[in-house]
Chains A and B, each alone.
Chain A
Amino acid sequence: MSERKAFSIDVGGLKSRPKQSDARTIAKTDKAGEKHGFIDREPKAKRGRKPSPRTGQVHAKVLPQVQAQIAAEARRRGTQQGVIIEDAWELYCEQHGITDED
């Protein structure tokens, strides 16, 4: 079998032209593409809020003034009332030495 000729590149001989990237050129390019069905197919971000990880539910009836205070504190902090209950539970666990393993 004959020896293959070595292939080496002289980068100085490569031709490159200046590329236009202004908004007008991009708009012209997009329009040319659309004529042939080359349209925007980028995945779109989902609309709306993300689902909350708080899927557990407690069934608590409390005194009216406690309910009002929890609601006011949640509004002040910009959180759900459930977050206030979680914080309260964390403090309770600390005070009573309750751990996740219990």
Chain B
Amino acid sequence: MNPSFSYQVNRLLRGSLPFWLTFLLAVMTVIPVRIENMATVTPSVVSISVFYWSLQRPYLMPAPAVFLIGLTTDIMTGGPMGMSSLILLLVHWIASSQRQVFVGKAFIQSWWGFLLVATGMAALSWVIMCLYAFAFVPALPFLVQLALTVLLFPAFAWVFGLLQNSILRHI
């Protein structure tokens, strides 16, 4: 028996939640918060979201979705096109291939995992940016952004966890 139409629509809408949520976070990255020098170290909450969903629901955060989200980030921030897509795809790849290490384990373990992934990605994006600009760009903003992002991870993971256990419970 085929599931009813409304059931499928419902499922589709719920299932697309991780994508739309991350998309919204990507758009919101550029909203000015007007704190001294905050604009250049805005925490990359998009990478938290991509990491979390690639870990918990990899089929709801497929690679093409990650690519689109990365492109949106680049379009909004005005950064080099393809930069965030590349970084986020790598985050997605690491998270979805290391699921057995993290899923169902203590939260601190995913936090530690995110710290490692985010550090690697911050270093990589700094190197790419230096190559891209053909000059040494200041590394401090990358480090501060990394620290802020890692510190924000538990808060976002908690909210995502709530969504996962309510709206996405059976999906």
- Asked whether A and B interact, the reply is no
- Interface of A with B (CB < 8 Å)? none
Q: Which residues of B contact A (CB under 8 A)?
A: none
